[in-house]
Structure 1
Amino acid sequence: MVTLLAGLGFARNELLLFAGVGLLLGGLDDVLLDLLYAMRRLWRDLTVYRRFPRMTAKDLPPPGVAGPIAVFVPAWQESAVIGQMLRRCLSLWANEDMRIFVGAYPNDPDTMKVVTEVIERQGEGKVQIVLNSLPGPTTKADCLNHLWLALRQWEDRIGRQALAVVLHDAEDVVHPDALRLIGLLSPRFALVQLPVLPLVSTRSRWISGHYCDEFAEAHGKSLLVREAMGAALPSAGVGCAFSRGALGRIAAARGERPFDPQSLTEDYELGLRIGEDGGRGIMVRMRDASGELIATREYFPETFGAAVRQKARWMNGIALSGWDRLGWSGGFREGWMRLRDRRAALAAVILATAYLAFLLSGIVTVVAWLTGLPQPPAPPMLWWLLTINFVLLVWRLAVRLMFVWQTYGPAEALRSLPRTVVANVIAMAAAQRAVFAYVRHLRGAPLRWDKTVHRFPEESAVERG
C-alpha cells in the first residue's frame, strides 16, 4: 500500500506540474491582454472622449445614403427561421438601399418555399433567392460563393457596385441601425464587425448561457485590443461587412471565389486574409437611441451535443486546419493574436489534465486517510505554482463577471462564475471531436456543412437581450 500511495502521489505531482505551468502561461497571457484593454480605454477616455462626444445612432446618416449594400444569407434546412429573419430585415431596413441574397439548395424545398413566399408578399426587389448548383449540404463557403456570383450579375444589371457585403445567418436578429452604421464605415474600412450578443435562453441557462459569457468578453475586450494593436481582425461570420473593393480583390485572385470552400471557418480566415492584404478592420461598439448596442443577436446551441459540435468546428477550423492554411505570417503582434486563437485545443488538454490531477489528489487523500499513512509530499515549488494560478483564476473570473455584468446585468454575471465549469467541459469534449475530425479530413474525408438546429426568438426575447 505504501508503494501504491507513493505512485499515486508521484502521478498527482506530475499532472499538477504540467497543468500548473500551462495554466500559468495562459493566465499571464490573459492578464497582459486585460492590461492592454485597460490602457486603451484609459487613453481614449482621457484624450478622444474629452474632445469629442461619443457617437450614437442619432449621428448616423439617413438610411440608403451610402449606397447599395448586399446582405448574404446562406441557408441549408432553415425553413423554421428564415422567414421570420427576412421579414424582420425587410421591416427594419425598409428605407435602406440594400438587396438580400439568400443561398438555398435544390434538395431543400422547404427553405425555398418559405423564401419564395416572403419575396412574393413583401420582398419583391429586395430579396433574391440563389439556388446552389449542387445538392446540399456543401460547405457554407461554397454557398457564399454562389451568392457572390449572383451579386456580380445583379451589379452588371443595375450598373452599380455594392458598397459592402454583409454576412448574416438565417437565425440572426438584426438591428435597425446596423446598415446605417456599416454604410458610414465601409468606405474607410475593409472589414466592419458589429458585436454579436447571444440571446439569453431560459431553456438553457448553463449551456447556451456560456456563449453569453464568452462573447461579452471577446467582443467587449479582446477584439478591441486586437484592432488597437494593428493585428488582423477576424470576422465573426455574422454582423460583419466586407468592403466591396476588398472582397473583389480577393475574389479576383481566387477565380471569383472569395470564400474558400475547403475551409471550416471561411469567415474567420477571410478577415485574416484581408489583413494580410493591407485592409483595415474595425470592431465598432455604438449605441442606439435607447442606449442599446447596435449588435446582432441570436440564440446559440442549447444542448450539450450541439454546443460540442459547433465548438469542435470552430476549433478544427481555427486551431488545427487554420494553422496549416494560414501559418504565422505578420510579425509579433499578429503572431501573438494567432497563437491566442489557436491555443484552444492545447488549453483543453491542459484543463483535462488539471481536472484529472485534482481528482487524483482526492483519491490520494482518501487512500491516505483509510490506511493511516502520510500523504506523499508535494514540492514547495508546486504549492507556489498552485497559489499563483489560484490568484490568476480569481482575476479571470472577476474580469469575466465585469464584462457579463455590463452586457447582461448582475444575474447573468453571477451565473457566469459556475458556468465556467460548463464551458470547460464543452471545450474538452469539443477538442476531442475536433482532433478526430481533423484526422479524418487529412485522410481525405470531404468537408460538409455541420448543421446546427436554429430557432428565432419572440419579440419579447429580443427586447430582453
Structure 2
Amino acid sequence: MGDTASTALQWLALAEHELLLFAGFFFLLGAIDEFGMDLAWLWLRFSGRAETPVLARGEIHHRQLSGRAAVLIPAWQEASVIADTLSHALAVWPQADLRLYVGVYRNDPATLEAAARGARGDRRVRIVVHDRLGPSTKADCLNRIYAALRHDELREGRMARMVVLHDAEDMVDPAALALLDRAIGTADFVQLPVLPMPQEGSRWIGSHYCEEFAEAHGKAMVVRGELGASLPAAGVGCAFGRGMLARIARDAGRDTPFDEDSLTEDYELGVKVAALGGRSRFLRVRGDDGQLVATRAYFPNQLGHAVRQKARWMHGIALQGWDRLGWTGGPGEWWMRMRDRRGPLSALVLFSGYTLFLLALVLAGLKAAGLPSSWEPSGLLLALVALNLASFAWRAFMRFTFTRMEYGAREGMRAVLRIPVANVIAIMAGYRALFAYAKTLRGASPLWEKTEHDAHPARAVRLELSQ
C-alpha cells in the first residue's frame, strides 16, 4: 500500500512539473504578445496618434446626410427588444435619408408585430419578411435584407451611399449616423466602438464583457489601424461603402456580400475590405459630455448564453477563419490574425493553468500532512513563475485602466476580480467551439445559435429622463 501511494505521489508530482512547464511557457508567450500590443499603444498614445478627439454633439446630431444610409438589422425571436431598438433609433436619428431595414422570418410573427410597433408608421422603416423558415443563419438573413435594398435602389433609381450593420438589441448613439456618414467619404469601411452595459443583476457574467470590449476597442483596434492591418467588423456600429459591398459580392461570384457558410460573416467582411485594397478606419470619438460615441447593448447575463456566444465567435474567427481566410498580408497582418486565432489555444492553456493550481493545492496539502516532496523547482522554473506573476499583475493593471476610462474606478476593480470568471467562460467556450468545428468537418451545417435578449438600455435611458 505504501508503494502504491508513493507511486501515485510521484505521478502527481510529474504531472505538476509538466503542467508547470507547459502552462508557464505558453502563458509567458501570451504575455509577450500582449505586452507588445501595450507598448505599441503606449507609443501611439505618447506620440499623440492615439488621442480621442472631442466633438460638440449638438453640432453633429442633426446634421443631414450626404446620401442614403441603409441600416440592416437581422432579427430572429427578438420580440422583446426590437421595438425599443427601432423607436430609439428613429428618435435620435432624425435624418430623412435614413432607411432602417429589419429582416424577420415568416414563422416569427411576434418579432414582426414588435417591429411594426417600434416603427410607429415611420416611412423610413422597411420590414423585410424572409421567405425561409427561421432560423437560418445571420448571414442568410442579412442577404435577404440586402436583396430588398437592391430592389428599392432599382425601383427608386438611387443607390445608398453607405450600409450600416446593427443587431436587434442595440442602442445607437445619437451622433453615430452623422459621424459614419462623414467618415465613409474617405473610407470603405468604418467601425465605431462597442460598449457593453454593466448589469446590476449580473455583475459577474453579463458585466464581464465591459472590460473585454473596453480594452479591445480602446487599445487593440487603435493599434491595428495604425499598423495598417485589416480591421475586423464587429457587426454593429459599422458602415460599409455601398460600392465596396457590391465589390465583395462580385469578388465572391454572388449577388450578395454576406457568406452564409460563415459563423462570423461580419468579422470576415472587415478582412475582405483590406484584402481588396479598401481603406478601413476605426473611429473613436468622444462627445463634449465625455461619453464615447459608441453602440451600447446588454450582453448575455447567463453562463450558458455567454459560453454559446463566445464559442460561436471562437469557432468562426479562430477555426473557420484559418480555413477560409488563410495568412495573407505582411508581418503586421500575420500578427493580428495570430491574435484573432489564439482562442482555442488560450482556452487549453487556461485549462492547464487551473488544473495546475488545483494539483499544487493537493500536493501542498499532502506535504503539510507529512508526505515528502518528490521534486524541487529549478532556478529556471522559479524565474518562469516569477515572470508570469509579474505579467499577470501588469495585465490586471491594464484591464483596470481601460475599464476605468469608460466605466469608472469601481467597475475597473470589478474587472480585475472578474478575471477568473472570464477565464472559465473562455475555457468552456473553447471546448464547445472545438466540438462544433469537428461537426462541420464531418459535413454539418453551421447554425445561428443566437443569444436571448430581454432587457434594452434604451428603457433605462427613458426611465432616467422621466425622473
TM-score (norm 2): 0.94
1:107, 1:284 → 2: CA distance?
A: 38
Q: Would you say the 8 A contact 1:132–1:146 is kept in 2?
A: yes
For 1:334-349, list aligned pairs within 5 A: 334-349=333-348
Q: Which residue of 1 aligns with 2:366?
A: 367
What is the correspondence of 1:415-426 to structure 2 with a 5 Å cutoff?
415-426=414-425
Which moves more between the two structures, 454-463 or 174-183?
454-463
Per the TM alignment, residue 191 of structure 1 is displaced from its structure 2 partner at its CA by 1.0
Task: Please state how far the C-alpha of 1:206 moved relative to its aligned partner.
Answer: 0.6
The aligned runs of 1:253-272 (5 Å cut-off) are 253-254=251-252, 255-272=254-271
The count of aligned residue pairs is 458
Superposition deviation, residue 366 in structure 1: 1.4
1:435 aligns with 434
In 1: Cα distance, 2:19 partner to 2:344 partner: 18
Deviates more, 1:287-296 or 1:22-31: 287-296
Aligned counterpart in structure 2 of residue 240 of structure 1, from 238, 242, 248: 238
In the alignment, the residues of structure 2 paired with residue 63 and residue 227 of structure 1 have an alpha-carbon distance, to the nearest angstrom, of 27
Change (3 A) 1:352 1:42: same
Structure 1 counterpart SS, 2:47: helix
Pick from 207, 210, 217: which aligns with 1:209?
A: 207
How far residue 5 of structure 1 moved from its aligned partner, in angstroms, is: 2.4
Q: Distance in 2 between matches of 1:130 and 1:242?
A: 20
Q: Secondary structure at the match of 2:160?
A: coil
**Distance change in 2, residues 1:45/1:229 (3 Å):** closer
1:384-440: CA deviations, max 9, x gaps? 100001000000110110000001001100001110000000000000100111111
CA contact (8 A) 1:173 1:297 kept: yes
Contact persistence 1:63–1:96 (CA under 8 A):
no
Please name the residue that 1:275 is paired with. 274
CA distance in 2, matches of 1:71, 1:81: 17
Moved more, 102-111 or 366-375: 366-375
1:73 corresponds to which residue?
73
Say yes or no: does 1:25 pair with 2:29: yes
Match of 2:217 in 1: 219
* DSSP 3-state at the match of 1:400: helix
Moved more, 83-92 or 368-377: 368-377
Partner residue of 1:394?
393
Q: How far did 1:321 drift?
A: 1.0
Using the TM superposition, give the Cα deviation of residue 63 of structure 1 relative to its aligned residue in structure 2, in angstroms. Answer: 2.4
Shift of 1:160: 1.6
Aligned to 2:110: 110
- Calculate the TM-score normalised by the size of structure 1: 0.95
1:115 is displaced (CA, Å) by: 1.9
Gaps of 5+ in 1: none
**Alignment match, 1:252:** 250
The answer for the alignment partner of 2:133 in structure 1 is 135
**What is residue 155 of structure 1 aligned with on the other side?**
153
Structure 1: how far apart are the matches of 2:169 and 2:416? Answer: 28
Distance 2:59 2:338 in 1: 38
Displacement of 1:282: 1.1
Equivalent position SS for 2:135: coil
In 2, are the aligned partners of 1:56 and 1:286 still within 8 Å (CA)?
A: no
Question: Which SS does the other structure have where 1:242 is aligned?
Answer: strand
Query: 8 Å contact 2:296–2:457 — kept in the other structure?
Result: no
CA-atom RMSD, angstroms?
1.8
Per the TM alignment, residue 62 of structure 1 is displaced from its structure 2 partner at its CA by 4.9
Question: Cα distance 1:58–1:39, how it changes in 2: closer, same or farther (>3 A)?
Answer: farther
Shift of 1:2: 3.4
Cα distance in 2 between the residues matched to 1:309 and 1:248: 32
Q: Whole-Å Cα distance in 1 between the matches of residues 362 and 184 of structure 2?
A: 59
> Following the alignment from structure 2 to structure 1, what is the Cα–Cα distance between the partners of residues 393 and 337?
26
Within the candidate set 3, 20, 28, 1:16 is matched to 20
Q: Is residue 5 of structure 1 aligned with residue 6 of structure 2? A: no
Structure-to-structure mapping, 1:396-411, within 5 angstroms: 396-411=395-410
Q: Helix, strand or coil for the counterpart of 1:122?
A: coil
Instruction: Tell me, yes or no, if the aligned pair for 1:163 and 1:187 is still in contact at 8 Å.
Output: no
Determine helix, strand or coil for the equivalent of 2:400. Answer: helix
Contact 1:72 1:147 in 2 (8 A): yes
SS for the counterpart of 1:129 is: strand
Tell me by how many angstroms 1:257 deviates: 1.6
1:456 maps to: 456
Offset, 1:117? 3.2
Alpha-carbon spacing, 1:237–1:45, altered in 2? closer, same or farther (3 Å): closer
After superposition, the Cα gap between the structure-2 partners of 1:14 and 1:64, relative to the gap in structure 1 and judged at 3 Å, is: same
Kindly state the Cα deviation for residue 362 of structure 1 after the two structures are TM-superposed.
Answer: 1.2
Give 1:15's aligned amino acid. L
Q: Which moved more, 1:246-255 or 1:339-348?
A: 246-255
- Give the AA of the match of 2:81: V
- Residue number in structure 2 paired with 1:100: 100
The CA distance in 2 between the partners of 1:329 and 1:45, in whole Å, is 27
Give 1:6's aligned amino acid.
Answer: Q
Task: Summarize deviations over 1:261-318 as a string: whole Å, max 9, x none.
Answer: 0000000011001110011211111122322111100000000000000000000001
Which whole-Å deviations, capped at 9, do the CAs of 1:61-113 have from their partners, x for residues lacking one?
A: 85223111000000001111111110111111123411000001111011112
**Against the structure 1 CA distance between its residues 116 and 54, is the aligned structure 2 distance closer, same or farther, given a 3 Å change threshold?**
closer
Change (3 A) 1:58 1:113: closer
Partner residue in 2 for 1:187: 185
For 1:356, the equivalent position in structure 2 comes to: 355
Distance of 1:186 and 1:97 partners within structure 2: 15
Sequence identity of aligned pairs in percent? 46
**What secondary structure does 2:179 align onto?**
helix
Query: By how many angstroms is 1:444 displaced?
Result: 1.4
Contact 1:307 1:426 in 2 (8 A): yes
Distance in 2 between residues matched to 1:230 and 1:45, nearest whole Å: 14
Aligned to 1:328, the other structure's residue is in SS state coil
- Counterpart Cα distance in 2 of 1:226 and 1:208: 27
* TM-aligned CA deviation for residue 155 of structure 1: 1.2
Alpha-carbon distance in structure 1 between the residues aligned to 2:167 and 2:148:
18
Contact conserved, 1:232 with 1:280, CA < 8 A, in 2? no
Q: Which amino acid aligns with 2:37?
A: L
Alignment-mate amino acid for residue 143 of structure 1: C
> What is the alpha-carbon distance in structure 1 between the residues aligned to residue 278 and residue 431 of structure 2?
35
- Measure, in 1, the Cα distance between the counterparts of 2:345 and 2:398: 22
Deviates more, 1:372-381 or 1:99-108: 372-381
**Would the aligned equivalents of 1:233 and 1:271 in 2 still touch at CA under 8 Å?**
yes
